[in-house]
């Protein structure tokens, strides 16, 4: 897997600037690390009897409930609390659940991390990585063989699938790239479609419902390995540099002691022979490593700035 490149210029976006990033007024960041502080008043801290965990809504929730089962059992053992898997249907629903206090531990996808941090008090601290410590995924533009699309410019006049507007590789990065480098604007130069998830976009191209799609190649790799699709159903016309992948973390107002135990659960988990290894080894992951939102998500905030993204919490 490639090392992460924290450079919008390397990705080919022209005129990018640092994003204006600020937390919602209900959160404070006195230590300047760009994430919500744990409330200093113990009366504002929560210690739920059952922990609710959600994984980013990229594929079939039933598949991932099973994939996460061994890890969640480990978290139960470390924290001493039951852990319930919560299947979310959209990034917006996942963010709202944490903002409302119904979600305690989560993996938010790359593009929705800044909004989750700003609007839901999400405190990311971990990411999946390969055994050698490298991490990340690439955005791909895919089409089907015989589509007549051989270059990015050929997307003009065709239907291009995105996932959702909060997705980095499924919308924000490809939209910025298409406009800045190829002069292609949605609704003007091509017809956009929103599939809702990477697997839907991948299946849509495989079934020739969409002419092309912007997807995270880690999702495609896992789908190929599971036999859901085959590699010969796709042609790749563009591959980006590497982005950070799903960030894992907690709601800001969990007690400090509980937050420490949850982090311990992530970093003490032995992947060997587990359901998590079975699923995520397909895209090269083998461990959890510590991350910083301030450092590791700088490239995503720059892409947001290039697109004039607002982190509005209303």
Quick check: 9 pLDDT over 50?
no
Whether the Cβ atoms of residue 55 and residue 106 lie closer than 8 Å to each other:
yes
Q: What is the mean pLDDT of the chain?
A: 91
Q: Is residue 15 part of a domain?
A: yes
Examine residue 16 and state whether it is found in any structural domain, yes or no. Answer: yes
Do 20 and 70 lie in a common domain?
yes
pLDDT at residue 198, rounded to an integer: 94
The string of pLDDT tens digits covering residues 248-288 is: 999 999 999 999 999 999 999 999 999 999 999 988 999 99
Position 1 scores a pLDDT of: 31
In a domain, 283, yes or no: yes
Residues 84, 225 share a domain: no
Residues 15, 97, single domain; the answer is yes
Question: CB 185: neighbour CB atoms within 10 A?
Answer: 12
Q: Judge whether 290 lies within some domain.
A: yes
Mark whether 249 and 128 lie in a shared domain.
yes
Last residue in a domain, options 243, 272, 289? 243
Measured in residues, the chain has a length of 314
Do 128 and 263 fall within a single domain?
A: yes
Percent of the chain with pLDDT over 70: 93
CATH number at residue 182: 3.40.190.10
How much is the pLDDT for 59? 62
Could you tell me if residue 313 is inside a domain?
no
pLDDT of residue 187: 97
Does residue 100 form part of some domain?
yes
Contact 141, 214 (CB under 8 A): yes
Tell me the pLDDT tens digit for each residue of 172-206: 999 988 998 899 999 999 999 999 999 999 999 99
What pLDDT, on a 0 to 100 scale, did the predictor assign at position 237?
97
Per-residue pLDDT tens digits for 204-256: 999 999 999 999 999 999 999 999 999 999 999 999 888 899 999 999 999 99
Domain boundary residue, one of 214, 243, 272: 243
When pLDDT is averaged across residues 86-105 and rounded to a whole number, the result is 94
**pLDDT tens, 133-148?**
999 889 999 999 999 9
296 and 224 fall within a common domain: no
Residue 165 pLDDT greater than 70, yes or no: yes
Does residue 18 carry a pLDDT above 50?
no
- Confidence check: pLDDT of 311 > 90: no
| 18 or 28: which leads in pLDDT | 28
State residue 19's pLDDT score. 46
Percent of the chain with pLDDT over 90: 76
> Which domain, by its residues, includes 275?
8-134+244-306
Residue at which a domain ends, from 223, 243, 263: 243
- Whether this prediction's pTM lies above 0.85 is answered by no
Q: What is the predicted pLDDT for the residue at 5? A: 31
Tell me, yes or no, whether 100 and 180 share the same domain.
no
Q: For residue 33, is it within any domain?
A: yes
Mean pLDDT of 43-71: 91
Q: Are residues 187 and 219 in the same domain?
A: yes
Q: Are residues 235 and 261 in the same domain?
A: no
- Same-domain pairing of 12 and 130: yes
Structural domains of the chain, count? 2
Tell me the per-residue pLDDT of 58-87, one tens digit each, with 9 for 90 and over. Answer: 667 778 999 999 999 999 999 999 999 999
- Looking at the fold, whether 16 and 126 belong to one and the same domain comes out as yes
Same domain flag for 215 and 293: no
Residue 8 pLDDT greater than 70, yes or no:
no
Question: Using H for helix, E for strand and C for coil, what is the string for the chain?
Answer: CCCCCCCHHHHCCCCCCCCCCCCCCCCCCCCCCCCCCCCCCHHHCECCCCEEEEECCCCCHHHHHHHCHHHHHHHHHHHCCCEEECCCCCHHHHHHHHHCCCCCEEEECCCCHHHHHHHHCEEEEEEEECCCCCCCEEEEEEECCCCCCCCHHHHCCCEEEECCCCCHHHHHHHHHHHHHHHCCCECCCEEEEECCCHHHHHHHHHCCCCCEEEEEHHHHHHHHHHCCCCHHHCEEEEEEEEECCCEEEEECCECHHHHHHHHHHHHHCCCCCCHHHHHHHHHCCCEEEECCHHHHCHHHHHHHHHCCCCCCCC
Residue 284, Cβ neighbours under 10 Å: how many? 18
Residue 297 lies in a domain: yes
């Amino acid at each position: 897997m490639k090392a992460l490149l924290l450079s919008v210029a390397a990705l080919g976006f022209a005129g990018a600037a640092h994003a204006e990033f600020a937390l919602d007024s209900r959160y404070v960041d006195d230590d300047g690390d760009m994430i919500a502080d744990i409330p200093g008043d113990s009366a504002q801290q929560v210690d739920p009897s059952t922990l609710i965990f959600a994984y980013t809504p990229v594929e079939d929730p039933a598949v991932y409930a099973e994939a996460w089962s061994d890890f969640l059992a480990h978290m139960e053992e470390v924290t001493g609390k039951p852990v319930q898997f919560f299947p979310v249907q959209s990034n917006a629903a996942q963010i709202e659940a944490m903002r409302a206090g119904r979600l305690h531990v989560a993996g938010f996808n790359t593009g929705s991390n800044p909004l989750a941090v700003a609007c839901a008090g999400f405190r990311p601290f971990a990411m999946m990585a390969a055994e050698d410590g490298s991490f990340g995924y690439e955005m791909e533009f895919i089409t089907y063989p015989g589509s007549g699309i051989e270059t990015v410019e050929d997307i003009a006049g065709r239907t291009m699938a995105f996932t959702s507007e909060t997705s980095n590789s499924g919308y924000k990065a490809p939209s910025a790239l298409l406009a800045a480098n190829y002069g292609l604007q949605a609704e003007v130069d091509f017809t956009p479609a929103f599939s809702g998830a990477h697997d839907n976009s991948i299946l849509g191209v495989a079934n020739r419902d969409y002419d092309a799609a912007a997807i995270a190649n880690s999702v495609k790799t896992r789908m190929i390995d599971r036999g859901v699709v085959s590699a010969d159903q796709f042609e790749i016309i563009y591959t980006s540099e590497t982005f950070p992948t799903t960030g894992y973390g907690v709601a800001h107002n969990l007690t400090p002691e509980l937050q420490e135990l949850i982090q311990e659960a992530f970093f003490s988990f032995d992947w060997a022979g587990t359901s998590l290894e079975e699923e995520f080894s397909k895209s090269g992951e083998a461990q959890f490593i510590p991350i910083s939102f301030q450092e590791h998500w700088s490239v995503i905030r720059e892409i947001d700035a290039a697109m004039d993204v607002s982190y509005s919490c209303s």
